[in-house]
Amino acid sequence: MNIAQYIDHTILKPTTLPADIEKLCDEAIRYRFAAVCVPPHYVALASRLTAGAGVATATVIGFPFGYSCIEAKVAEIHKAIAEGATELDIVINLCALKSGDLDYLSREITACLQPIRLNRCMVKVIIESGVLTDDEIVACCTLYARHKVDFVKTSTGYAEHGASVHAVQLMRSHLPPEIQIKASGGIRTFAFAQELVAAGATRIGASASVTIAGGS
């Protein structure tokens, strides 16, 4: 398995420096990762460094807790796209989900999708599966399938639990085949990444990407 093609090479620490982005992009080009996923502050730099290399520029929206207002998320999306992002990983409003307000989540994704679709970009919705019940995961799959998102993504990496094979399998069994799954959060070995791909993930978000790509 060429695991590199599945990987979004990621750095999202709040203390990230330009030199870290330069290293991330150099590694992504060298190993032919699918994308780099960087803080919004560094989208323009990452986009410039990966231009023409076949590596997408992804960034996060509403990160890491997801409870910023819809208008703020939409503004973040517009800015990220203007600076070169082609993939947007959006943290859903978990407060709304936990309180059963699926109508809010529907309004949120509808507003976020408008600029994304207009600019032919890709959306990954982060549901933070590690803090959800199975019923909540299934509810997310049903909701976001209706809105025809590109990916449902497991985790931010900031919650107490990250990706799991169980969550990916559950998501795969409740999503239509055209909606992909990104597994992220706590993926540090080739063996675990391989398990997640076997379970149905088509992207792996990781900061240990070089180690994973080396088969360790």
CA geometry: angle 123, 98, 85, nearest 5 deg: 15
Q: Cβ(33)–Cβ(214) under 8 Å?
A: no
In a 10 Å sphere around its CB, with 0-12 CB exposed, 13-18 middle and 19+ buried, how is residue 145 labelled?
Answer: middle
Q: Which pairs count as long-range contacts for 17-25, CB under 8 Å and 24+ apart, including other chains?
A: 18/42, 18/45, 21/45, 21/46, 21/49, 22/49, 25/49, 25/50, 25/55
Q: Which residues are catalytic?
A: 89, 153, 182
Nearest to 12 by CA among 73, 61, 54, 71: 61
Q: 191-216: b or e for each residue (b if 16 or more CB lie within 10 Å)?
A: ebbbbbbebbbbbbbbbbbbebbeee
Contacts of 106 (CB under 8 A, 6+ apart): 143, 146, 147
In a 10 Å sphere around its CB, with 0-12 CB exposed, 13-18 middle and 19+ buried, how is residue 151 labelled?
Answer: buried
